[in-house]
Amino acid sequence: MKLNGAQILVNCLQSEGIDHIFGYPGGAVLHIYDALNACDKIKHILVRHEQGAVHGADGYARVSGKCGVALVTSGPGLTNAVTGIATAYMDSIPMVVISGQVSSAVIGNDAFQEVDAVGITRSCVKHNFLVTDINDLVNVVKKAFHIATTGRPGPVLIDITKDTTIAKIEFSGYPKSINMRSYQPEIKIKTTQITKAVALIVQAKKPIIYSGGGSVIGNADKILRVFTRHTGFPITQTLMGLGAYPASDKQALGMLGMHGTYESNMAMHDSDCIIAVGARFDDRITGNLDKFCPYAKIIHIDIDPSSVGKTVGVNVSIIGQVNDALSALMQALKGKQLADISQWWAQIETWRSVDSMAYKTKAGVIKPQSVIEALYEVTKGEAIVTSDVGQHQMWAAQYYLFDKPRRWINSGGLGTMGFGLPAAMGAKLAAPEMDVACVTGEGSIQMMLQELSTMLQYDTPVKIINLNNGYLGMVRQWQEFFYDKRYSMSYMDALPDFVKLAESYGHIGIKVEKEADLKPALIEAFKQKNRTVFLDILIDPSENVFPMIPAGAGHHEMLLAGRDDMASTNDEGLNLV
Amino acid sequence: MRHIISLQLENESGALSRVAGLFSARGFNIESLTVAPTNDETLSRMTIVSIGDDDIVEQIVKQLDKLIDVVRVTNLTATGHIERELALVKIDVSPNSQAEIDKHIDEYGGKIVGVSEDTYTVEVAGKSQRVDDFLVSIDASKILEVSRTGVTGVCQKREY
Ligand SMILES: Cc1cc2nc3c(=O)[nH]c(=O)nc-3n(C[C@H](O)[C@H](O)[C@H](O)COP(=O)(O)OP(=O)(O)OC[C@H]3O[C@@H](n4cnc5c(N)ncnc54)[C@H](O)[C@@H]3O)c2cc1C
Ligand SMILES: Cc1ncc(C[n+]2csc(CCOP(=O)(O)OP(=O)(O)O)c2C)c(N)n1
Ligand SMILES: [Mg+2]
């Protein structure tokens, strides 16, 4: 039977097992929307802004582990989607974004709603395609999903001209698999590297496992636990890795890096053997590269060779899936004696006893840290928590102990304000049975507020925890420390009444001004299983995120809360901000 | 150090801009870049000359390899290889300088491939250094125009 390009596309998506698409229509994709209308297997979520569509698909992908799909029209539809695409790219999220394009006959003519989608997105996608011939469509779709979901995952854009969606050909089915000579994501672990790594591991007196997003992306939580327990090594996790190893376990030292725990950063600094597992030595982790881990031999497990040796030189690289690499290490360690590390643990316990996450309470004000602790308690640590970007993001990461992967959903690499709310919507669609909380700030939430409307339409009840400090708090903190308290443009006057706002979108709004009201309000919010509840919580506007490694400093030079020696940095440090 | 990187890539529209875009986005330097189809019409061969420390070049090679359209990347500098570059040089030949110029053309194995009343167009080929040397040998005020292809290269062994 002859089908048009739009129908073929929808057929392919169905064969790919896609059940949700986040999108927004427009002229160039009208044929695709017409074909979607006739398909009852795929649920389309009509967002209110294309950035929300891509973040929605992203949240869906992070929680489900499946490929997210977004659909946008040409021109402004595509440009609105770019922030979402770049966000997914930086965090290695599997996603296919389909954009309409003007007809091939007028491409390059500055036609109505024409932009060079492939050119604009080139540097923030894993790959992209422009389809101008219907005969290429099926293979391109297959390739796009193959590329997006294998190896180091990432977003792939398919830009489809309008005439391709209209043209008709005989559709002979969707291929089961595809082979590309230029893309071979299956990598076999090299035994020689395993042998070298084991030699370092058995000698290590001050070892530490530094696990990142790759352990989540690669679904390696089980083997990570087995490996960590078997070795008895301490483990620290990046912002992107939280949950792969249970935070409440005694071997877990908490997050590392700029706002990581004292014990994590000190242990990294003093370690003689770092086992990096799916982590990419980001500058929020390393701080000043000259001072980073001066004593350590480094073993680096990563699927992407370009992540290895990019910022930090390593001694042994193991290229491949975290699962495969850790299994191979486990195998090779069988029957081998490890060095005694009891002294190392004793040292770590003294760092731990500093209690770097302690914070001072003040009568009459709500401390943001206590909000997250209460959230943890009320949800019994079992919720999916999404976040926006800023101080609230760090507090959520520090005080909500994630024991399972795919529960902590945030934009780490790009740091995109506006991510939290649409991601929460996507998360709820991926896991309808779970409680979903979106920890946000009054600055971030206003970047994607309109999605409250989508959330009513598609009945995706989440709890919005607005840590309202009246400031672009993270910016204010930097200005306090490094710009002599010149608070340039970090205060937003004229905030909306969030309670009324939530109500006008058909949701429940609750304002929390007193400490005593906090817990009851949270309990009430989570009792409302089928409603989205917006908790506007007025927190201490002067609170800062600690511990902190000032830009340019080393891990052992971190600042702790409640000390007088205020943060300082030099011009070199400010370049790293 | 100067590195010659050889790429085989899918002969598809957009492949060139992916490579060029990667260099500019990541701040890698390009001395020259040449590209053309090969005997296999589905493949293009691209040769890039870049100057950088070994770890930067290692990162360049890894990033190139990561591009989906790239089938193979080789750092030719790391193995036995042949490199060639061709230049077309337009030279002002007044009667009194002609003998001198002829001598240099001979010395560098150049070929006069075009002639007008008072100019020669000379083709010189060889390693880049040879082309550089030829250009230096000619009185700079006589050189009217230079067009160089940039380096192309292959590895010496049958397989690499
Ligand atoms: C305001 C703010 C503050 C921040 N502060 C901190 C901080 O204090 N501490 C912190 O840790 N981060 C912080 N971040 C986040 C930081 O910017 C980075 O996003 C983060 O550190 C990167 O985490 P990662 O190294 O785990 O890498 P990811 O970005 O998660 O990358 C994953 C790595 O694993 C590899 N990989 C993927 N899948 C697999 C697989 N299946 N097998 C093997 N390898 C795989 C990838 O190739 C990649 O190299 C902050 C962000 C913001 C916005
Ligand atoms: C889209 C975008 N613009 C600007 C920034 C820079 N930025 C990082 S944190 C921040 C402040 C966030 O304010 P808010 O959401 O109120 O969170 P808070 O830090 O107060 O908790 C800003 C402006 C960003 N990360 N993303
Ligand atoms: Mg704020």
Of the listed ranges A135-139, A501-505, B22-26, B95-99, the least confidently predicted one is: B95-99
pLDDT tier for residue A550 given thresholds of 50, 70 and 90:
confident
Per-residue pLDDT, A576: 57
Arithmetic mean of pLDDT, A150-155: 98
- Residue A566 confidence (pLDDT) above 60: no
Question: Judging by DSSP bridges, how do beta strands A273-277 and A252-255 pair with one another?
Answer: unpaired
Per-residue pLDDT, B159: 73
Query: Which of A119, A180, A306 is facing B66, going by the closest CB pair?
Result: A306
Mean pLDDT of chain A, nearest integer: 96
What is the CATH code for A368-538?
Answer: 3.40.50.970
pLDDT in tens, A36-93: 999 999 999 999 999 999 999 999 999 999 999 999 999 999 999 999 999 999 999 9
Q: Which residues of A touch B59 (CB under 8 A)?
A: 306, 309-310
Arithmetic mean of pLDDT, A388-402: 98
Q: A311 at the B interface (CB within 8 A)? A: no
Distance from CA of B19 to the nearest CA of A (A): 10
For residue A452 the two structure tokens come to 């409250």
Per-residue pLDDT, A449: 98
Residues of chain A with CATH 3.40.50.1220: 191-352
Alpha helices per DSSP H over A114-220:
117-121, 134-149, 162-166, 191-203, 213-217
pLDDT in tens, B14-43: 999 999 999 999 999 999 999 999 999 999
Q: Which residues of B touch A304 (CB under 8 A)?
A: 66
Arithmetic mean of pLDDT, A384-412: 98
- Residue A210 confidence (pLDDT) above 80: yes
Counting one residue from chain A and one from chain B, the pairs whose CB atoms sit within 8 A come to: 35
Per-residue pLDDT, A577: 54
In whole angstroms, what is the distance from residue A51 CA to residue A82 CA?
A: 7
Q: Identify the burial level of A360 via C-beta atoms within 10 angstroms of its C-beta, where 0-12 means exposed, 13-18 middle and 19 or more buried.
A: exposed
Ranges of beta strands (E only) in A102-251 are 127-131, 155-161, 168-170, 207-211, 235-237
Q: Are B65 and A305 in contact (CB < 8 Å)?
A: yes
pLDDT tier for residue A373 given thresholds of 50, 70 and 90:
very high
- Residue A565 confidence (pLDDT) above 70: no
Radius of gyration for chain B, computed over Cα atoms and rounded to the nearest angstrom = 18
Arithmetic mean of pLDDT, A108-135: 98
Q: A309 at the B interface (CB within 8 A)? A: yes
Residues linked to residue B123 through DSSP beta bridges, in sequence order: B88, B111
In whole angstroms, what is the distance from residue A388 CA to residue A366 CA?
A: 20
Q: Which of A49, A80, A258, A417 to mutate to test the pocket of ligand 2 (most atoms within 8 A of CB)?
A: A417
- Domains of chain B, each with CATH number or no CATH: 2-78 (3.30.70.260), 82-154 (3.30.70.1150)
Arithmetic mean of pLDDT, A266-294: 95
In whole angstroms, what is the distance from residue A384 CA to residue A429 CA?
A: 12
A474 is catalytic: yes
Is the Cβ–Cβ distance between A85 and A411 less than 8 Å?
Answer: no
CATH number for A191-352 (one of 3.90.850.10, 3.20.20.70, 3.40.50.1220, 3.40.630.10): it is 3.40.50.1220
For residue A572 the two structure tokens come to 């070199």
Q: Are B68 and A180 in contact (CB < 8 Å)?
A: yes
- Residue A179 confidence (pLDDT) above 80: yes
Query: Which of A119, A182, A305 is facing B70, going by the closest CB pair?
Result: A182
Arithmetic mean of pLDDT, A259-278: 97
- The answer to whether the CB of A426 is under 6 A from ligand 1 is no
In whole angstroms, what is the distance from residue A165 CA to residue A187 CA?
A: 36
Name the CATH superfamily, with its identifier, for domain A2-170.
Thiamin diphosphate (ThDP)-binding fold, Pyr/PP domains (3.40.50.970)
Query: Which of B14, B59, B70 is facing A310, going by the closest CB pair?
Result: B59
Q: How far is the CA of A476 from the centre of ligand 3 (A)?
A: 9
Residue pointed to by tokens 């004593």:
A295
Return left, alpha or beta for A139; rule: phi > 0 is left, psi -120 to 50 is alpha, else beta: alpha
Residues of chain A with CATH 3.40.50.970: 2-170, 368-538
For residue A243 the two structure tokens come to 């949950």
Q: Which residues of A touch B62 (CB under 8 A)?
A: 305-306
Per-residue pLDDT, B97: 84
ipTM of the complex: 0.93
Q: Identify the burial level of A489 via C-beta atoms within 10 angstroms of its C-beta, where 0-12 means exposed, 13-18 middle and 19 or more buried.
A: exposed
Is the Cβ–Cβ distance between A198 and A326 less than 8 Å?
Answer: no
Q: How far is the CA of A310 from the centre of ligand 1 (A)?
A: 14
Closest alpha carbon within chain A to B61: A306
Is the Cβ–Cβ distance between A29 and A73 less than 8 Å?
Answer: yes
Angle A396-A549-A557 (CA atoms, 0-180°, nearest 5)? 140
- Residue A219 confidence (pLDDT) above 90: yes
Q: Are B70 and A304 in contact (CB < 8 Å)?
A: no
- Of A102, A118, A119, which is closest to residue A110 (Cα–Cα)? A102
In whole angstroms, what is the distance from residue B112 CA to residue B106 CA?
A: 10
Per-residue pLDDT, B91: 96
In whole angstroms, what is the distance from residue A383 CA to residue A231 CA?
A: 30
A66 is catalytic: no
pLDDT in tens, B84-143: 999 999 999 988 888 999 999 999 999 999 999 999 999 999 999 999 999 999 999 999
Task: Give the single-character DSSP code of A254.
Answer: E
- The answer to whether the CB of A213 is under 6 A from ligand 1 is yes
Residue A537, classed as helix, strand or coil, is strand
Residues linked to residue A70 through DSSP beta bridges, in sequence order: A22, A97
Q: How far is the CA of B113 from the centre of ligand 1 (A)?
A: 58
Cα–chain-centroid distance for residue A572?
29
Per-residue pLDDT, A163: 98
Global pTM reads 0.97
Residues within 5 Å of ion ligand 3, judged at the Cβ atom: A 441-443, 469, 473
Q: How far is the CA of B73 from the centre of ligand 3 (A)?
A: 48
- Residue A459 confidence (pLDDT) above 60: yes
